[in-house]
């Protein structure tokens, strides 16, 4: 080898080493601090990315702990599993009896009613009697009889919920109405956790409430947060990976909470218009939006509406969706227009 060639190789090696050093130097500044807790029947994971020179690990842990406190508070207020929650108090109201409610509950109920209008009732928080009916079917391994089914369906209808903006009260226009924010409150809890982290000086974080996520800022100076979406029929595989910044992504589907009676699979998502768990309209839906509450609501709505839901996604502006459904007996993924241009997506075969 001549000396000129050797110089070139050495120069190239030096350049590569200096690039590597620069890369590891900027990467070494960031550290991920994370913790997980069990809330709302699921695991909530929070990761924050900090530069320890500017923000200590102890402060990061304290910020995460405050975010968990907020989720804990939300569970106490919004849970239908707790008799003492504000939602359970609302559910004990009789026809036309008014209850003054907190701003948080008022605003979330208001938002869900708005989406009930926009989705023509595919998303409906008054679906609770049907949720309870199908929960009982799951427990007893017996399908509901026609009489029970009719009775539950009669007690569903978002138009029976009324809010009074001036005095911040809620009332039901009919006896037997009840609400369940299970399709929206995990997303809301994610948004609130992000709010608390930001309030505590965190600029880069990811909150994952059992599939309802928000990516704040970036993972490192040059890396986005990468979010994986589970294959809907194989929990050990991801079928999508998306790089996100300041965006929420929420996934709903028939694969985490479902039950089987007589060989037929039933989802925990109900079509409030028919009273039945969703069928072939969707296996799963992931929605990307500017906030996790909206993404949570629309992911549930997309599961009910199937492909028709893309119309609402388009109308909403700035929102994207990935729908997985069966087509001619095969799992197929459909995506909103332009999603690949807006996001860095890697996709596995379904």
CB of 9 to ligand FAD, least distance (A): 56
Indicate the residue whose CB is closest to ligand FAD.
41
Tell me which of 210, 296, 312, 333 binds Mg ion, using CB under 5 A: 296
Report yes or no: 48 and 219 within 8 Å, Cβ to Cβ.
no
Task: Name, in order, each residue with C-beta under 8 angstroms of 236's C-beta and a sequence gap of 6 or more.
Answer: none
Q: Which option in ligand FAD, Mg ion, none does residue 105 bind, with CB closer than 5 to 8 A by kind?
A: none
Residue closer to Mg ion (CB basis): 86 or 180:
180
User: Phi and psi of 17, rounded to 5°?
Assistant: -65, -40
Kindly give the pairing relationship between strand 320-327 and strand 284-289: antiparallel
Residue closer to ligand FAD (CB basis): 25 or 280:
280
CB of 119 to ligand FAD, least distance (A): 8
Nearest-CA neighbor of 347 among 238, 272, 264? 238
CA neighbours within 13 Å on the CB side: how many for 9?
A: 6
CB of 81 to ligand FAD, least distance (A): 4
CA-to-CA dists, residue 166 to 93, 101, 163, 169, angstroms: 20, 12, 9, 8
Q: Which option in ligand FAD, Mg ion, none does residue 211 bind, with CB closer than 5 to 8 A by kind?
A: ligand FAD
Residue closer to ligand FAD (CB basis): 48 or 305:
305
CB of 303 to ligand FAD, least distance (A): 6
Binding residues (CB under 6 A) for ligand FAD: these are 40-41, 75, 78-79, 81, 123-125, 127, 131, 180, 182-183, 185-186, 211-212, 252, 256-257, 268-270, 272, 296, 300, 304
Tell me which of 121, 129, 157, 183 binds Mg ion, using CB under 5 A: 183
CB of 255 to ligand FAD, least distance (A): 10
- The Cα angle at residue 117 between residues 159 and 290, in degrees rounded to 5: 130
In three-state secondary structure terms, 88 is helix
Place of tokens 């106490």: 76
Q: Which option in ligand FAD, Mg ion, none does residue 185 bind, with CB closer than 5 to 8 A by kind?
A: ligand FAD
CA distance 267 to 299: 14
Residue closer to ligand FAD (CB basis): 244 or 297:
297
CA distance 55 to 49: 10
Site residues, Mg ion (CB under 5 A): 183, 252, 296, 299-300
């Amino acid at each position: 080898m001549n000396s000129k060639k050797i110089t070139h190789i050495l120069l190239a090696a030096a350049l590569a080493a200096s690039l590597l050093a620069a890369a590891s130097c900027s990467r070494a500044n960031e550290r991920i601090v994370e913790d997980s807790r069990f809330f709302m029947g699921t695991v909530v994971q929070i990761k924050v990315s900090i530069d320890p020179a500017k923000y200590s690990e102890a402060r990061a842990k304290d910020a995460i702990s405050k975010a968990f406190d907020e989720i804990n508070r939300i569970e106490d207020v919004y849970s239908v599993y707790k008799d003492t929650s504000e939602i359970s108090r609302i559910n004990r109201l009789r026809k036309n009896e008014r209850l003054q409610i907190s701003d948080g509950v008022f605003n979330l109920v208001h938002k869900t009613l708005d989406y009930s209008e926009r989705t023509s009732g595919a998303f409906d928080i008054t679906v609770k009697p049907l949720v309870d009916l199908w929960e009982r079917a799951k427990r007893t391994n017996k399908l509901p009889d026609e009489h029970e089914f009719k009775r539950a369906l009669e007690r569903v209808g978002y138009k029976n919920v009324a809010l009074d903006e001036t005095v911040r009260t809620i009332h039901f226009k009919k006896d037997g109405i009840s609400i369940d924010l299970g399709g929206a409150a995990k997303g809301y809890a994610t948004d609130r956790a992000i709010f608390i982290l930001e309030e505590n000086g965190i600029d880069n974080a990811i909150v994952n409430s059992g599939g309802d996520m928000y990516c704040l800022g970036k993972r490192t100076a040059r890396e986005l947060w990468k979010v994986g979406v589970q294959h809907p029929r194989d929990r050990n595989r991801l079928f999508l990976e998306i790089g996100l910044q300041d965006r929420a992504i929420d996934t709903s589907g028939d694969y985490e909470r479902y039950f089987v009676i007589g060989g037929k699979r039933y989802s925990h998502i109900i079509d409030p218009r028919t009273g039945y768990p969703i069928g072939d309209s969707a296996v799963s839906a992931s929605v990307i939006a500017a906030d996790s509450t909206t993404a949570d609501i629309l992911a549930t709505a997309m599961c009910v509406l199937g492909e028709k839901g893309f119309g609402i996604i388009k109308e909403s502006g700035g929102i994207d969706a990935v729908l997985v459904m069966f087509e001619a007996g095969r799992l197929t993924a459909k995506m909103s227009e332009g999603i690949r241009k807006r996001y860095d997506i890697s996709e596995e075969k379904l």
